[in-house]
Chains A and B, each alone.
Chain A
Amino acid sequence: MPAVSKGDGMRGLAVFISDIRNCKSKEAEIKRINKELANIRSKFKGDKALDGYSKKKYVCKLLFIFLLGHDIDFGHMEAVNLLSSNKYTEKQIGYLFISVLVNSNSELIRLINNAIKNDLSSRNPTFMCLALHCIANVGSREMAEAFAGEIPRILVAGDTMDSVKQSAALCLLRLYKTSPDLVLMGEWTSRVVHLLNDQHMGVVTAAISLITCLSQKNPDEFKTCVSLAVSRLSRIVSSASTDLQDYTYYFVPAPWLSCKLLRLLQCYPPPEDGAVKGRLVECLETILNKAQEPPKSKKVQHSNAKNAILFEAISLIIHYDSEPNLLVRACNQLGQFLQHRETNLRYLALESMCTLASSEFSHEAVKTHIETVINALKTERDVSVRQRAADLLYAMCDRSNAKQIVAEMLSYLETADYSIREEMVLKVAILAEKYAVDYSWYVDTILNLIRIAGDYVSEEVWYRVIQIVINRDDVQGYAAKTVFEALQAPACHENMVKVGGYILGEFGNLIAGDPRSSPLVQFNLLHSKFHLCSVPTRALLLSAYIKFINLFPETKSTIQEVLRSDSQIRNSDVELQQRAVEYLKLSSIASTDVLATVLEEMPPFPERESSILAKLKKKKGPGAVSVNELEEGKREGGELNGGGERGGDSSAIASTPSPSADLLGLRTGPPVTAAAPSTGSLLVDVFSEAGVNDDGFLSTQVSKIYNTVLVVFGYFNKKILHIVPLNDLSERELVTINEQTPQGVFVMAPFLKMFRALTCTILLGLGMALLENVDPNPENFVCAGVIQTKAQQVGSLLRLEPNAQAQMYRLTVRSSKDTVSKRLCELLAEQF
């Protein structure tokens, strides 16, 4: 580029700028600017033609004034005139003004485009570069329209100078990012890939950014770049630090290019060609080796550049996940960084290790650093690093170290930063559940969790405890005892009271033998917390009291007394009042048998995906372990969850079709099976004990009356269908169905006669609400419901007219979308 000689400087501009800098006040500055603007206006008036130099000077002044924050509404024309000058400095100022101040004014854009076109077709490389820079800086759609065809040609033309190629590559990248639809792939794409072989390192660096961006969109077209990139990388890596003179940065050869190459390779799977792969592995090994060498310079830039390459290489190794040797080496390398005094390095090491931990090859290697990581969690000053340490602990956790890690996380939770507490709580809850071999340990852990960080324990966590305690007989007594002890603390968290109320209400009898926890003591303990709790907890406690009446008839009078008190029976909250009234009546009217039936012990919960996990997935902070990994873990910890069906992962389902179908019902007992249409195979998200109570009741009823086996085959995909009954009484029961794929088949066998009740069940199971007394013919069923898909809500109406004599029926479905009606029709037709 031609250097700007001293004599070429603009004196008038310098004077103006120094005047402005010397202004004592804002007003003085505005005055000076107004004066200058008036002067420029009078010069631009067009009485006599200005020479290039003064035009350049005035345009420069306008630019300066604009950059000071004043509006400029003239001078564009002069700037455009400068574009056609032959002097570099004048052209440069013109382009600068255009880049900064251009607005999509149609006539000017046309002129500008014309000038750019002229420059692009000139053979002068500096002019071409200026034009390309201007296009990239403006980057508007108009520019893209005008030049998207031209620039690729310049980029791949054989006779283009290196500097121009460099600019052209970056300019094309910019246009591709702003309007990808205008940059059309063509025969130039293959030639762009070959720029990786270019002699000029600058061109390669610019081109690789473009190639990375393009290959992310259409990987197949750029597949050939892998081998080129590998060979380029190996050349750089093996070069001595003096080989690439201009591109050696603090003794590191071409660090930017290396990083970009490694990142490009991360877009593709490991190369299939053995030779290429061998070469790449060699490169990666060299990079890891170099990290071990003593630093060539004490400067921070040297180590930064080296580490940047190293981290990119490690993420490539993790991406490939196929070289156990490299993975272990990477892990060891990161282990060294864990104790580095540079905070950023510690952070990056923890973050990379998190992903390493999920690889089967390096999981063990990562585990060796557990002490260091725990130490980091405890002593690290920077909260973001602590967060990463917690993530890593979570990721490296498995059956062997779960107890240690959970204990460490719990103890850290007491002092943890508020911003990460909720996530920590979820993680502890999940780990405790996933790797629990010993249920008493699980219960202890969760109760501890509630005690330490009650505020951060979400609903899902304590729901889960209760589900597990109810489903496992062996832990119930222990749970009741622990909860009872925990409740004796003078101040307990409300969540603790909820768990306590529920568990004592269900299993209080298991510890009633001990005089220290006699029924009355239990009741008094619970009731002492009653007044400090919020309405939903109080409602739960009232339910616990009525269960007490069932479990321990001796407490009946005390509890009735409590229920009868004004604070309950006349409570201003409708829900509490209703419960108090109903429970009081139930306890005084119903016989013990009825009471025992109504308040029977909860049936085991249907197995389902842990709602906690779902919540963590929703939150899923950076660095959290991938979903797949968790899913695997779940399958591993099957005995706890009874191996629920795993939606979401279609490949997993496809590989093991029979067991998943099996789990859905064939193997499990009648209660669950019978309830299949309503809840069994469905994931019930809402956990309102009343709702579950009803459902449970219903399911047993159904199973007693009809010994029908309902087999449900479900191919589960990710589409979720919510069906909300319109019936306002059951509004609480929001049912989420995870089914509905074209292959979903409902088969009922044996199915000879149409039972009205069964039909009801099926229809209700669909989530529709049955509308009684709507149709004049009482035999007919009329239903209404809203099907909620992810994208939209579809209201639907349904009428079923059975004709028992003819053994036929007519089904009419009406909904706002024809595909939905059709699908519903098909589904139901298969059932009858």
Chain B
Amino acid sequence: MIGGLFIYNHKGEVLISRVYRDDIGRNAVDAFRVNVIHARQQVRSPVTNIARTSFFHIKRSNIWLAAVTKQNVNAAMVFEFLYKMCDVMSAYFGKISEENIKNNFVLIYELLDEILDFGYPQNSETGALKTFITQQGIKGQPQTKEEQSQITSQVTGQIGWRREGIKYRRNELFLDVLESVNLLMSPQGQVLSAHVSGRVVMKSYLSGMPECKFGMNDKIVIDKQGKGGTTDDPGKSGKQSIAIDDCTFHQCVRLSKFDSERSISFIPPDGEYELMRYRTTKDIILPFRVIPLVREVGRTKLEVKVVIKSNFKPSLLAQKIEVRIPTPLNTSGVQVICMKGKAKYKASENAIVWKIKRMAGMKESQISAEIELLPTNDKKKWARPPISMNFEVPFAPSGLKVRYLKVFESKLNYSDHDVIKWVRYIGRSGIYETRC
């Protein structure tokens, strides 16, 4: 279990320090600063063990969050908690920055008291927390006893993430499928590794306590239905369904039902939340193909030509495309010519950065650069780091499709048809690299 939680600024000064267990001494704060933040060698592992104490840290912009424990805890749980903590904090006061943390330290301590009890994570649902931890300070009139008891029963009850009596004039629902596609490709165009990690994020503005049911083209479900001889065309289902490697759900999803029927049914929290997370590795649609060509002309010159091809429907538009071509460490000058977009040599990052605002599917674009090198006395050869790429496309590279999202509310008089539903797909690049 978590023994303590510290927040540092970029200099290593402690902003927040909350110790939950006696086995964590005061010196633990300094130990982390000395051994991780101010370490001579940059510490890359998120888990550090110092004197039988484990430190789990994440970094948000310039802020370090570190959870400390002396016990053998589940590291994934700790990191999950730390990310949740970040979500909660940004839901309360926006961006996590040194100034915001300093301005809200009372609130943060209050939150820390609520979401961690003796080191055990508690309800960290922003919606639920906001009912009893408010930013406004003491309200004009104190909450009535009734209200207070209502909050207590709700927070400690079975559905801790949603309170009763929510009413909206328009029942609305937004569904975002956000995916990031990761790729490592050889210079010859062979896929060395590729996977998609996706999230289904929902924003629900529904009245009452609605029961929802979410359906997507999960291969297992589709196959089952195909066998059952239902209306779906078996030939079509084989192509359209996707194989999900693993997935995790928000606490509101009834896992027993998922295990038995593989159906995702839940009572949604109010507002924005992440319904599920998943990962796929098969039949990934790679939105872009990068074809590099590097030629060394003597010791002092390098010619680089990179072609990118978009590989999706011509009607779709990819956005925020950025290709990063690393340059050798002894580069002394660069000339770039590109047909589309803007390219620039960034000395501080040792790379040529080529940006294209928009690009339709099934198109091709090219950049060529001449790099001048300064002869050096070491014989070390340039390691040729891979060319990386960033983009955003309006479809899910994994092939995931939302089939339905049904809403049932028996007590109030609205039905599935009255709910306005929005679905959006966004595919982003994760680590999308091609070796050259």
Which residues of A are interface residues toward B (Cβ below 8 A)? 24-26, 31-32, 34-35, 37-39, 41-42, 44-45, 73-74, 76, 105, 108
Contact = CB atoms under 8 A, between A and B. Distances in A.
Contact of B348 (A31, A42, A44, A45): A31
Contact of A44 (B347, B349, B374, B378): B374
> What are the 7 A-B residue pairs with the smallest beta carbon separation, nearest first?
A38-B347, A35-B348, A31-B348, A41-B332, A45-B332, A73-B376, A35-B347
24 contacts: A24-B10, A25-B10, A31-B348, A34-B348, A34-B350, A35-B348, A37-B329, A37-B347, A38-B348, A38-B350, A39-B347, A41-B330, A41-B331, A41-B332, A41-B374, A44-B332, A45-B332, A45-B333, A73-B376, A73-B377, A73-B380, A74-B374, A74-B376, A108-B377
A722 to B, nearest CB: 48
Contacts of A31: 348-349
A31 B349 CA distance: 6
Contacts of B329: 37, 73
A669 B345 CA distance: 99
Given A25-B62, A32-B348, A38 B331 contact: yes
A106 B375 CA distance: 17
A245 to B, nearest CB: 46
Contacts of A74: 330, 374-377
B260 interface: no
B374 A45 contact: yes
Contacts of B377: 73-74, 76, 105, 108
Interface of B: 10, 42, 62, 329-333, 347-350, 372, 374-378, 380
Contacts of B62: 24-25
Given A38-B331, A42-B332, A76-B377, A26 B348 contact: no
B18 to A, nearest CB: 25
Contacts of A38: 331-332, 347-348, 350
Contacts of B333: 42, 45
Contacts of B380: 73
A571 to B, nearest CB: 42
Which of B333, B348, B372 counts the most A-chain CB atoms under 10 A from its CB? B348
A68 to B, nearest CB: 12
B352 to A, nearest CB: 12
Given A41-B330, A45-B333, 8 more contacts: A32-B348, A34-B347, A35-B348, A41-B331, A73-B330, A73-B377, A74-B376, A74-B377
A784 B329 CA distance: 69
Contact of A45 (B10, B347, B372): B372
A76 B377 CA distance: 9
A34 B329 CA distance: 9
Nearest to B373: A41
Nearest to B351: A34
B377 to A, nearest CB: 6
Nearest to B333: A42
A74 B376 CA distance: 5
Contacts of A108: 377
A41 to B, nearest CB: 4
Nearest to B374: A41
A24 B332 CA distance: 27
Contacts of A105: 377
Which of B329, B333, B350, B374 counts the most A-chain CB atoms under 10 A from its CB? B374
Contacts of B330: 41, 73-74
A32 B376 CA distance: 21
A31 B348 CA distance: 4
A74 B299 CA distance: 14
Nearest to A34: B348
Nearest to B380: A73
A332 B193 CA distance: 84
Contacts of A73: 329-330, 376-378, 380
A44 B372 CA distance: 12
A762 B42 CA distance: 72
A12 to B, nearest CB: 16
A39 B348 CA distance: 10
Contacts of B347: 34-35, 37-39
Nearest to A31: B348
Nearest to A43: B332
A324 to B, nearest CB: 58
Contacts of B374: 41, 44-45, 74
A277 B375 CA distance: 66
Contacts of A35: 347-348
Contacts of A37: 329, 347
Contacts of B378: 73
B43 to A, nearest CB: 11
B172 to A, nearest CB: 41
A26 B333 CA distance: 25
Contacts of B350: 34, 38
Nearest to B372: A45
A156 B138 CA distance: 89
A41 B42 CA distance: 26
Contacts of A76: 377
